[in-house]
Structure 1
Amino acid sequence: MTHTMRTRARTVLGLVTAAAMLTLSACGGGGGSDSAGADKGTTSSDSSSPSPSESGDAAQGAEPDLEGIPDVVAEVNGEQVTKEEFTPIYEAAFQQAAMQAQAGGAAPDEEALQKQTVDDLVDTELLVQEADSRGITVSDEDIDAELTDLAEQNQLGSAEELLAAVEKQGVTEEQARSQVETQVMVEQLVADEDGAADPTEKELRALYAQAKQQAQSSQSGQEIPPFDEVRDQLEQQARSEQVGRVAEALLEDLRQDAEIEINL
C-alpha cells in the first residue's frame, strides 16, 4: 500500500459504508437512496421539520473554522498526519453535523469534531502501519471488487453508479476509492488477526430480533421485512460488527506501544 494511496479519510469511509449498508428499516420503507445516506439516529420527522433538501442547502452554507489548525495535526510513530489530510475529513464531519443541526439538533461542536477527526486519523494510521508490517496489500482489483459488491448491496447496477451516488454527498471518486482501500485493508488485517468467520444463525436471528425491537420502540410505523428477505444485510452487519470489535481490540494493543503526538 503506497503512501499516496493510503489517504486517511475515515469520515468519508463512513459515508461510503452508509451508502452501501442499507438498514432493515430502509428496506422495509423502500427508500433506498435517501435512507442509505441517513444518520443511524434519524427518525421520521413531522411536518414542521425541514425537508432533507432544505437542510442540505442550509448546511452547505455553513463553514468550519480552520484557523489555528497546524500543518501537522499529529504524529504516529514518526509518521505525520497533515492538515491537508485532516481538512477534507473534518469538513465532511462538520457538514454532516450541520445538517443534523438544521434538522433540530444542537449546533456543531467544532472542538469535539476536531478531536474525533484527529483520533480517527491516528487510529487509521496505526492500522495502516500494522498492515504494512504484516505485508498486507490492497490491489486496484481488490478495490474494484469491493465497489462492485457495495453497488450490488445497494441495488445499483455498477460501481460507477455507486461512485456517482456518493459524489452527490460530496465524496469524490478518489476519496471513495481511497476509503474502500482502507476498508478492505482493515478487513484483511482483522482476518489475519482473528481469522475469517461467518456469522452463525443464532447471531443473525439475534440481530433481526434487535432490529424489530428498535423499530417497535421508535414508533416510526415501519415494518421489518421477513428474516429471509434481509438475511444478506444481516450477514453484512454481523461481519461489520465483528471487524469493528477485532479492530478496536487490536488498536488498544497498538496504542500502548505507539508514540503518538497530537498537535491540536
Structure 2
Amino acid sequence: MTRKLLATAATAAALIALAACSESAPQDPGAEDAEAPGMEEQDGMPEMPEMPEPDIEDVPDVVATVNGTDIAGDEFVTLYQMQFQQMAMESQASGQEVDQNELKSQTLNSMVDSELLVQDAHERGYEASEEDVEALLDQTATSNQMESVEELLGVYAEQGVTEEQVRDDAQTQLLVQELVENDIEVDEPTDEEVVELYESMGLGEDEENGYELEEIRPELEAQVRNQNRSEAVGAHVDDLRSDAEVQTYL
C-alpha cells in the first residue's frame, strides 16, 4: 500500500475539504463589475502578484524509509503540490512568501506520521475492506453534494491525484480511525474547556450575533473533542517515533 497523500489522522476531513474546495463555483464576474465598475480599464490599479511555483526539482525517488517501508517521492510531490497551492493562495492575500523548506518538512513529517499509524494499525490486526473504502468515499461524495463517487474521483483527478491514491488514502483513514477509537485514549471535554472556548471565541450572548452557551454547547464540545483527539494522536505518534527506524532523504 502506497503512503500517503492525505497523510494525517484526519484524512477524512482532508478529503472533504479538498473536494469542497474543488467544487466551489467561481465568483460571478458580473458581481465584481457591479462593485467596481470600469476596474479593468483603470491603469493605476495594482496587479496581483504571480502565483509562485513549487520547488520539486530535487525530490528523490524515495523521500523517507519508515521501519523498512519506503515513502515514494512522487506521492510526496503530489501532496506537497496540493499543500503548496493552498499556502500560495494564502500568501497572495497576506503578502508573506511561502517558506518552501518549512512546508516540505511539514509535509514529509505528516507522511511519516501517517505511515507509523498505519503500521501500528496493521500490527494490531485492523483491516479496511474494499467495501469499507467504497462506503467512505460514497459518504464523502454525498457530504459534498456530489452525485457519485465517480464525480468525487474526477475532482481529485483534476488535482493530479489518481483513483488508486484516493482509495489508498481512504483505507489509511479507516485504519487510523480504528486505531483511535480502540487504542488511543481521548479525554472527553470538560465544562471548563467548553466555557473557555466559548469565551475565547467571543460568542457570548452579549456579543453581536452571540449565542447562549447551552445553545451551542454540542458544537463547542465537538471542537474540544477534536482538539483532544489531535493531541492524543500526536502523543501516540511521538511514542511510535521513539521506537521507529526513520530515515529521511530530502
- TM-score by shorter chain over 0.5: yes
Aligned to 2:202: 213
Aligned to 1:43: none
State the identity as a percent. 32
Aligned to 1:240: 226
Aligned to 1:133: 123
Q: Which residue, 5, 10, 14 being the options, matches 1:9?
A: 5
Cα distance in 2 for residues equivalent to 1:132 and 1:176? 19
Query: Are 1:11 and 1:93, in contact at CA under 8 Å, matched by a contact in 2?
Result: no
Cα offset, 1:229, TM superposition: 7.5
Query: Are 1:143 and 1:180, in contact at CA under 8 Å, matched by a contact in 2?
Result: yes
1:81–1:16 distance in 2 versus 1, CA, 3 Å: same
> Counterpart amino acid of 1:107?
E
When structure 1 is superposed on structure 2, of 88-97 and 103-112 the one drifting more is 103-112
Secondary structure, aligned partner of 1:65 = coil
Map 1:90-129; keep pairs closer than 5 Å. Answer: 90-129=80-119
Aligned to 1:258: 244
Secondary structure, aligned partner of 1:10 = coil
Gap runs ≥5 in structure 1: 22-32, 38-46, 49-53
Cα distance in 2 for residues equivalent to 1:159 and 1:233? 29
Cα offset, 1:108, TM superposition: 1.2
Secondary structure, aligned partner of 2:63 = strand
- Is the aligned partner of 1:68 residue 2:64? no
Cα distance in 2 for residues equivalent to 1:185 and 1:202? 31
Query: Are 1:58 and 1:99, in contact at CA under 8 Å, matched by a contact in 2?
Result: no
Query: Are 2:64 and 2:248, in contact at CA under 8 Å, matched by a contact in 1?
Result: yes
Map 1:154-173; keep pairs closer than 5 Å. Answer: 156=145, 160=149, 163=152, 167=156, 170=159, 172=161
When structure 1 is superposed on structure 2, of 166-175 and 88-97 the one drifting more is 166-175
Aligned to 1:26: none
Compare CA radii of gyration and give the structure with the larger one.
2
Aligned to 2:71: 81
1:239–1:215 distance in 2 versus 1, CA, 3 Å: same
> Counterpart amino acid of 1:130?
D
Cα distance in 1 for residues equivalent to 2:210 and 2:169? 30
Query: Are 2:65 and 2:247, in contact at CA under 8 Å, matched by a contact in 1?
Result: yes
When structure 1 is superposed on structure 2, of 158-167 and 130-139 the one drifting more is 158-167
Secondary structure, aligned partner of 1:213 = coil
> Counterpart amino acid of 1:17?
A
Cα offset, 1:93, TM superposition: 1.3
Cα offset, 1:195, TM superposition: 5.6
Superposed CA deviations along residues 36-58 of structure 1, whole A, max 9, x for unmatched, are 98xxxxxxxxx99xxxxx98x95
Map 1:222-237; keep pairs closer than 5 Å. Answer: 223=209, 234=220, 236-237=222-223
When structure 1 is superposed on structure 2, of 175-184 and 98-107 the one drifting more is 175-184
Aligned to 2:31: none
Cα offset, 1:181, TM superposition: 2.6
Query: Are 1:12 and 1:171, in contact at CA under 8 Å, matched by a contact in 2?
Result: no
1:97–1:225 distance in 2 versus 1, CA, 3 Å: same
Normalised by the length of structure 2, the TM-score is 0.69
Query: Are 2:62 and 2:72, in contact at CA under 8 Å, matched by a contact in 1?
Result: yes
Normalised by the length of structure 1, the TM-score is 0.65
> Counterpart amino acid of 1:193?
D
